[in-house]
Structures are given as C-alpha cells and as structure tokens.
Amino acid sequence: MSILFKLAIEKYRELRDEYEVVLAAAYEKAADVTRGAMVNARGERAGVSDWDLFTHNRAFAMAYASEELIEHWARHPRPTYAAYERQMVEEVWL
C-alpha cells in the first residue's frame, strides 16, 4: 500500500473519531436546550430516536425534528461530517 494512501486512511479515521466527540457534544447541548423534546409527533409515531436526527441526512432530520430543535439548529447549525472535515482541512492544509 502506498504511504500516502495509508496516511490518508489514518487521518480519515482520526477525523471520524474526533467528529464523534463533536457530534456527541452537539447532541448533549441540543438535548439540554430542548429539554429532551427533539423529535416531533410524526417522528415519535415513526419510531425515530433523538440520535437519528443527528446521524441521518438533513432532509430526514428536518422532517422529524421538533420546533425547538429546529430553532436550536438555526442558532447552532446541525453538525455534519462533511462540514467538519472541510473545516479541519482548511485549518490544517489551507
């Protein structure tokens, strides 16, 4: 395996691990701000969990998020791995 490819895989894994910490912190903050009211009634009927709103795509999250959570995300954008990765690359390499 190429050294460059191996380093890229290692960095990707590091970023994924770091992102999990960022995601967990965002989840905890949202749970606190919304007092646990993160899933709307439609989502509850569908069996959607609070965590699903943070791990599925944006369309899914917006369809099932409570008004309180949507308001929270308006002030503190919902984290995504793509945005986190872009931010880290810009800080380190650009």
State residue 16's pLDDT score.
96
State residue 73's pLDDT score.
98
Alpha-helix residue ranges (DSSP H) falling in the chain = 3-33, 41-46, 52-55, 58-64, 67-75, 81-93
Q: Closest Cα to residue 51, out of 14, 15, 79?
A: 79
State residue 39's pLDDT score.
98
| Per-residue CA distances from 11 to 16, 85, 93 (Å) | 9, 10, 13
- Where the chain has pLDDT below 50, the residues are none
Q: Closest Cα to residue 46, out of 63, 28, 58?
A: 63
State residue 93's pLDDT score.
74
pTM for the whole structure: 0.87
Backbone phi, psi, residue 78, to 5°: -60, 125
State residue 92's pLDDT score.
81
